[in-house]
Structures are given as C-alpha cells and as structure tokens.
Chain A
Amino acid sequence: MKTLKICLDVNGERHELLVAPNRSLTQVLREDLGLTGAKHGCDEGECGACTVLFDGEPVNSCLVLAAQAEGHEITTIEGIADGSALHPLQQAFVDHGAVQCGFCTPGMVLSAKALLDRKKRPSEHEIRTALSGNLCRCTGYQKIVDAVRAGGRNSAGSGR
C-alpha cells in the first residue's frame, strides 16, 4: 500500500502529511493532528459524532478518505472559538444546558453553525432538519434546539 503525501487545510492552517491511503479523515484529524473533537461514533455515517465542516458544509468525516480532503477547507470544532473566547453558538450551548456527556456536541455545534451561517433565524423545523444527521442520547434534543435558536440571535451582527 503506497503512502501518499497530502496537504490538508485544517482550521486555516496547512499541514503536510504522509498518510496511508486507507486512513479516514476522522483518523488523521484525531491521530496525526491531535484534533480529538471529531469522534469515532458509528464509523458509518449514521450518528454524526464525526461531523466536520468541508468547505463550510457538514460532512461525516468517517466517510471521507483523508486523501480526498486535500484541496478543501476543513473546519473542526477546535477551529471556531476565537482564542479563549467561545463562539456565540458554543456559549449558547453552555447557557442552555445543551451539553450533557458532550460526545455529540462538536458535531451538533458544527452542523448548527453551517445552518446559521446560511440563515440567521431558522425555524424550529429547519433547525431540527439541519441536526437530523446528529444523534444525541442524553439531552432529548430540546435544549440543543433552544441553544441553536439563541445562537442565531446572539450571532446576528457579530459577523461570526
């Protein structure tokens, strides 16, 4: 199996990596770049715990070969805070009790961020649809939905 030399753009930083072709983006983010926010959940694109933004759009990183991510902009949960200041959406999750075990949270926040970047004031139906690829076993989803709605309001005008 021939190793590939790839260049990944992750959270605005370029990384030159030597990877085996059979490594998923989830594996390379976690193991080679130490970005452990994206989780191994189901590893088959059903739970969303591995969600990252791929050119601004949520994807299941478990279904992307690391090599396929070359030439695209990858954003992980580690990339949305501003230094130590939480992104307004992250703050909304904290304020609304939308985080329990936290395993689904990076994926939820990124899927929600992609929605809010497109539409500042989505309806409840639009929020639930946007999150329909992210499973949560703890919260029952309501507080997550409330946090996303609040996150949209808080972000309005902040340009983030």
Chain B
Amino acid sequence: MLLPKFDFHRPTSIAETCEMLTEYGESASMVAGGTDVLVDLRRKRIAPARLIGIDRVNEMDGIRAGRGEVVVGSLVTAAGIADNRMLRRRFSVLTQAAEELGSPPIRNRATIGGNLVTARPAGDLLPPLMVLDARVRLVSQGGEREIPVDRFITGPGKTKIRTNEVLTQVVMPRPDPASGGAYIKFGARSSCEISIVSVAVFVSFTPAGRRIKSAKIVLGAVAPKPIGCPRAEELLVGAAPGEKAFAAAGSAAARAARPISDHRGSARYRRQMVEVLTRRALGSACRSAREGLSGRTK
C-alpha cells in the first residue's frame, strides 16, 4: 500500500527540531521508529504535509544513570530498554513491558517517546512508567518543562504535548533497594497483540521487609487511558505481603477498572482478569522486592 505524499526533513539536533516545529506548526508530524506513524499514514488517520524524521537526533538517544535518577532518551527502542542490564536489575517492571511490546522487529524500531505520545489506552510502556513515577521532558524554542506521565496522558491518543514541543527524555527516580515491580500483559496471543488487560505494579517494603511500605498499581486497556487504583494501593500499605493482601487489592483493582466490551473481551471478563492479574503481579513484585532486600543480584 502506498504512503501518501509528504516532504521529509531530517534534523540532527534538538535545537534544529524545535526550529522546524515552530516554523511548520500543525503542517508537520514527527516520526521516529515509524511503527505507529507509517500505519496511521497508510490508513489515512493522519495526513501531514511534512514529516520530521527525528531518528538522527542523537541527543535524544541513550540511557544515563544520574544522581538519584535514570534518564532514558525518547529515541531508545523497546529492544534497547529490554536489553539494558541496569534497567533489567532496577526497573524490571519497565523491561518486562518492553519485552512484550509488539514483536521482535517492532521492538527494534518502536521508541519509548513514540509509545508515550501515541498514548494508546493499551500502550505497553505506559503503566510501568506510571508506577515508576516517571516524568517526560518536553523541549521547545520557548524552553523546557517536565510533566509526570500520569498527568501527561489525558485521554486515548491525547497528551499535553504542544505543537512546537518535542519529547526528548523520560526521567525515572531511582527506586528503593527494597522494592520490586511486575508487568503482566494479557492477550489472546503472545505476540503482535493489543492487550485485553495489562497490569503494572510496584511495591516497596519496610526495612525489615515484613510490611509493604508503599504500592502502586496501574491498569492498561480497561479505561480511556492507563488508570491507577488508589483504593487497592491503600489496602496494601502497612499490610503483610501475602495472598490475603493481594486478594483484597485484586478485588479493589477490579472495581477501579472501567473497561468496555469489544471484540477482544467483554467488560465483565476484563474486570475478572484485572482481579486475577493484579494478584499475580503483586506476588511477582514482592518476590522481586525480596531479592532486592536480600541483596541478591537479579
């Protein structure tokens, strides 16, 4: 199938990108890995007069560990995230999602920045970024700003990014050593799939490891955007990690979900799966956190 016509621009710096965004405004769309944009172009969902290919802006690539935080360039691919040793050890909820996204050839091109700006309700990297309290960095000729991911995404396909802004980096605070996360993607098949339900959880333990100090749970594919479960999280704080606490959290998470019925699954089925998968993810996250506590390398 043919792509529609457009002019193609290839900036090599963030500054050049911002100049183009300011000059071209609404007539331009950006493209990085192309795994969403080229599909949208062929299906006529978008029809920009110009494409700005940002895949050569090296400043937006790379993973850097800073003091107290890790910065992931927006051009880092899902494969780049999944394969990174440091991320696998300390941010496994994100790497688990990156491993499940799309398929191997998609993972080699799809970028974290792209997953964020397309903001699909079932976007795989979004729930993990939210449980990790990640922020996006947005740059324009007017300056820079940072927005937490859970506020950045406002609806299906909608974010707070402005026409003259480019998403350059994702910033994640370093987690507690006594913490762990897990991501479960549930679909009818194990690849090339849009989730029926997805769950990301992140828990941290008290120093002795006997109680849950804090918990975050974010559900994907069961609302117009990934949603948190504050009630389920409250039930976990101060609780001893175990089946009883996980079951209570699972039920509360199922009540927080706002799924629709569609060809992938009924709303009722999705709620049931939220309950089951939240329980399982919490078990997995707690095991991961225990390994962190005991100082075992993962």
Contact = CB atoms under 8 A, between A and B. Distances in A.
A51 B105 contact: yes
A65 B38 contact: yes
Interface in B18-69: 31, 33-35, 38-39, 42, 51, 53, 55-56
A130 B104 contact: yes
B56 A22 contact: no
Contacts of B5: 1, 20, 22
Interface string A33-68: 000000010011110100100100111101111011
A59 B105 contact: yes
Interface stretch (B6-14, B164-172, B228-236): B6-14
A104 to B, nearest CB: 13
Contact of A1 (B6, B39, B42, B79): B6
B103 A62 contact: no
B188 interface: no
Contacts of B33: 63
Contacts of A18: none
Contacts of B56: 71
Contacts of B31: 65, 68
B64 to A, nearest CB: 22
30 contacts: A2-B7, A4-B8, A21-B6, A21-B7, A22-B5, A24-B3, A44-B39, A45-B38, A45-B102, A45-B103, A45-B105, A45-B106, A58-B108, A59-B105, A59-B109, A63-B34, A63-B35, A63-B38, A63-B109, A64-B34, A65-B31, A65-B34, A65-B38, A67-B53, A68-B55, A132-B104, A132-B191, A133-B103, A133-B106, A133-B191
